[in-house]
Structure 1
Amino acid sequence: MTIKYTKHFLDKLENLFAASEYMLRYEKGNFKSGYCILNETKIVIINKYFPLEGKINALIDILSQLQFNPKDFQNKADQDFLEKLGQTTLKF
């Protein structure tokens, strides 16, 4: 899957978190990786000063770490999108 650095693509990633049990928040902080995952409370925090590209890369990285199961999502579009993302690798 080709990653598109657009607001629409960011919205699709944010919708995946909205449909999951994790809460996504944008806040300022000193995160070495640009984000923080609080597994106990199921909260993901992204640095709000990240540019669009940084936010998208961070969300994709987080999704790969959390290993969401596409079958846990009710919406078929979310399932398909998550499966495509699972086949995507980031190269820095």
Structure 2
Amino acid sequence: MSLPLTNHSLEKLEQLLLAMGFKVRYEKGNFKTGACLLEHNRVIVVNKFSNLEGKIAALVTLIKQTNPDENLLDDKQRQFFHSLQQMELF
């Protein structure tokens, strides 16, 4: 399975992270393309100047590293999470 590089895919990833208890923020800054996970605040900071592919790749990578409480997810989100776990990155 491959995730389409669209704004809709980015929104689905953001909604999944929100359901998992994370807040996603887009900030401009002097950091490389990618994301930073602040453990105690459960905030993911993504460089707003990254291209769409970079944003999606960063969020998928973080989701793959996360072990969420699946009780927080509805059936569609749980299915999406499991499909992301099986996905090879671009």
The answer to whether the superposition gives a TM-score over 0.5 is: yes
Distance (whole Å) between structure 2 residues aligned to residue 23 and residue 89 of structure 1: 24
How far is the alpha carbon of 1:34 from its aligned partner?
A: 2.2
> Residue 41 of structure 1: CA displacement?
1.0
What do residues 31-60 of structure 1 show as CA deviations (whole Å, max 9, x unaligned)?
A: 335221100111110000111111100100
TM-score by length of 2: 0.88
- Aligned counterparts of 1:33 and 1:68: Cα–Cα separation in 2: 24
Which residue is 1:36 aligned to? Answer: 36
TM-score, scaled relative to structure 1? 0.86
Figure out how many residues of one structure are paired with residues of the other and give that number: 90
For structure 2, the residue ranges without an aligned partner over 5 or more in a row are none
Give matches, 1:1-92, under 5 Å.
1-69=1-69, 71-91=70-90
CA deviations over 1:16-37 (Å, ceiling 9, x no partner): 0121211111001233352211
Distance 1:77 1:42, change over 3 A: same
RMSD: 1.5
- Equivalent residues of 2:33, 2:46 under 8 A apart: no
Q: Percent identity?
A: 38
Please tell me the residue identity of whatever aligns with 1:4. Answer: P
Misfit runs of 4+, over 3 Å: none
